[in-house]
């Protein structure tokens, strides 16, 4: 891959070399990769970013990725609402995003083989964007460190499998039971039979989690029709716990699509 020299105003972080070494190791182990998704998580946990052909990925480590600072402040529909004058109000300036070491993973699912890496958006002096959720968490972690405490965190996501088809009014509806074909309509919290009936979806979820290094520890049936829960293992690095939750949302949706469903309302507690 050709290396591109960054403009002098870009503060290239030392971590870019660590990230490059990790990417090279991933490429050596998986030479069939076609793309790399360079992604950022916005304030509601939606992944946004750019997909690069594998031959273009080297620029991520040399000159970073140019993307607007407003990327973190989209609403749930992906619309720019100009919060605090960011976006339309300030001309929507770009910052430079850099790969975060330790966040490279393969992406599970259909399509050409690809990897992804989580990015952090910086200004020309290398300072993190104040709206970046991960940077906000780091500021909280610094306050814990000042009093010699380490938050140990684990998150769990509750979500609904829903039918791809909407009802006569255009509203979401519960899925069809994979075993009987009947519409789900009853509550069945912690039902093991429910896990058996949705075994194919749960197997996809397990495989996707393993592929993307997301430590899912347990799954269970929740109260409502089509509602499930997935638990993540505890982490002594709160940033890693949050990263896992964001990527769990991604793999729940991918596993749902692979089994003929949609997934909705992936919320963490």
CA separation for the pair 253, 159 (Å, rounded):
10
Q: Does 266 have pLDDT greater than 70? A: no
Mean pLDDT of 74-80: 82
Q: Does 1 have pLDDT greater than 60? A: no
Q: Does 199 have pLDDT greater than 80? A: yes
**Cβ contact 178:197 at 8 Å:** yes
Q: If you average pLDDT over every residue of the chain, what do you get?
A: 91
What's the pLDDT band for 6 if we cut at 50, 70, 90?
A: very low
Give the tens place of pLDDT for each residue, 124-161.
777 888 889 999 999 999 999 999 999 999 999 999 99
Q: Does 171 have pLDDT greater than 80? A: yes
pLDDT of the residue at 76: 84
Tell me which residue of 116, 134, 137, 153 sits closest to 232, measured CA to CA: 153
Tell me which residue of 13, 246, 239, 240 sits closest to 140, measured CA to CA: 239
pLDDT of the residue at 3: 47
pLDDT of the residue at 209: 97
Q: Does 267 have pLDDT greater than 80? A: no
H or E element in which residue 136 lies: helix 133-146
CA separation for the pair 2, 55 (Å, rounded):
8
**Cβ contact 190:220 at 8 Å:** yes
pLDDT of the residue at 8: 40
Mean pLDDT of 72-81: 83
Give the tens place of pLDDT for each residue, 86-108.
777 676 778 899 999 999 999 99
Q: Does 21 have pLDDT greater than 60? A: yes
pLDDT of the residue at 18: 96
Mean pLDDT is lowest, of 48-57, 80-89, 215-224, 225-234, for 80-89
Give the tens place of pLDDT for each residue, 108-117.
998 899 999 9
pLDDT of the residue at 4: 46
**Which is it for the CA torsion 241, 15, 78, 206, positive or negative?**
negative
pLDDT of the residue at 10: 61
């Amino acid at each position: 891959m050709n290396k591109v020299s960054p403009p002098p105003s870009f503060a290239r972080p030392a971590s870019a070399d660590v990230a490059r070494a990790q990417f090279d190791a991933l490429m050596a182990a998986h030479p069939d990769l076609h793309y790399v998704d360079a992604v950022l998580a916005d304030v509601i946990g939606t992944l946004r970013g750019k997909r690069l052909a594998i031959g273009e990925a080297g620029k991520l480590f040399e000159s970073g990725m140019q993307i607007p600072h407003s990327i973190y402040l989209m609403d749930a529909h992906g619309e720019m609402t100009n919060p605090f004058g960011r976006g339309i109000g300030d001309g929507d300036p770009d910052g430079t995003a850099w790969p975060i070491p330790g966040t490279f993973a393969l992406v599970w699912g259909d399509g050409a083989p690809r990897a992804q890496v989580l990015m952090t958006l910086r200004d020309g002096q290398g300072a993190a964007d104040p709206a970046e959720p991960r940077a906000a968490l780091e500021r909280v972690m610094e306050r814990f460190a000042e009093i010699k405490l380490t938050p140990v965190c684990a998150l769990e996501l509750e979500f609904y499998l829903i039918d791809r088809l909407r009802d006569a009014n255009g509203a979401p509806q519960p899925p069809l039971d994979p075993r009987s074909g009947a519409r789900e309509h009853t509550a069945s919290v912690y039902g093991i039979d429910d896990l058996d009936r949705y075994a194919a979806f749960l197997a996809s979820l397990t495989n996707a989690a393993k592929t993307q290094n997301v430590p899912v520890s347990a799954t269970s049936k929740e109260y409502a029709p089509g509602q499930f829960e997935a638990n993540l293992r505890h982490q002594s690095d709160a940033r890693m716990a949050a990263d896992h939750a964001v990527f769990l949302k991604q793999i729940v949706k991918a596993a749902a699509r692979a089994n003929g469903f949609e997934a909705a309302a992936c919320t963490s507690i």
